[in-house]
Amino acid sequence: MWLYLARGYWIHHFVKDPFKRKYKFSRLANWIAKVVCKYFQIRVTVVNPPPSGTPGLVIGNHLGFIDILASCSIRPMLFVTSVEMRQTPFLGLLTEMGGCIYVERRSRLGIQQELEQIIQSLKDGFNVCLYPEATSHNGEHVLPFKRTLITSAAHAGVPILPYVFNFKSVEGEEFTFKNRDSVCWYGDIPFTTAFFKALSLRHVDVEVKFLEPFHSTVEMSRAEVAHKLHQMISEHFQPVK
């Protein structure tokens, strides 16, 4: 962690070019995610990974910290998260050094500017990861998707790369109500409680399964695109038992 913070601090203060800064931050986050997954025995199986070198809007279901680490370990990406996350002590620092793009989910006044940030990052050749549920959930079902930011892929002329994240085993057992609160962050569970519960596990097996790329256009209805993607991911999601 100290290496991550030291490297991130150096990039923040000495790399002035915005593109180079995002490039280095995304690779720093990819490196630390791989280290954390290995050290904490988060065993990630990737199914149907998209070809490298092709930028796209990566979207998936969101249950907590572990799916972020798993997806971040696959390849360098810029993650879209909330301004609230940026304002959270320590976690805000970590997300900034990971090259996150921040959006204000509590107000839609700046949505166009936030959308432009994502579009420009996609045009610059970055993979951008978006959780369209806009929050993590309890593992029972995939929450409805927010629509607006998904349109960034069509405006940037890149495909949407949907994936489904599933827990295959937690401490050698099935993903059930018994162990759910050790791997999911939802409701009123405090950040520190969820974080330390997740990282205190001996081992977790997860799967990140990429589905068929989805090519949207600016003429398509936002509701239609969001519904189709939600349906694709829900069909492959394995809920808590």
Pick from 102, 134, 141: nearest CA to 121: 102
- Neighbouring CB atoms inside 10 A of 208's CB total 20
- Residue 241 in any domain: the answer is no
Report the percentage of the chain scoring pLDDT > 70.
98
In Å, what is the CA distance from 37 to each residue of 90, 157, 169? 20, 33, 15
CATH number of the domain that residue 34 is part of:
3.40.1130.10
Pick from 161, 144, 171, 140: nearest CA to 238: 140
Residue 78: per-residue pLDDT: 96
CA 101 to CA 99: how far, in whole Å?
A: 7
Pick from 106, 101, 23, 94: nearest CA to 65: 94
- Residue 184 in any domain: the answer is yes
- Residue 173 in any domain: the answer is yes
Q: Which domain holds residue 78?
A: 2-236
* pTM for the model: 0.92
Positions in the chain short of pLDDT 70: 105-109
Domain count of the fold of the chain: 1
- Residue 211 in any domain: the answer is yes
User: Given the DSSP bridges, would you call strands 128-130 and 101-103 parallel, antiparallel or unpaired?
Assistant: unpaired
Residue 104: per-residue pLDDT: 79
User: Given the DSSP bridges, would you call strands 101-103 and 78-82 parallel, antiparallel or unpaired?
Assistant: parallel
- Residue 206 in any domain: the answer is yes
- Residue 65 in any domain: the answer is yes
- Residue 192 in any domain: the answer is yes
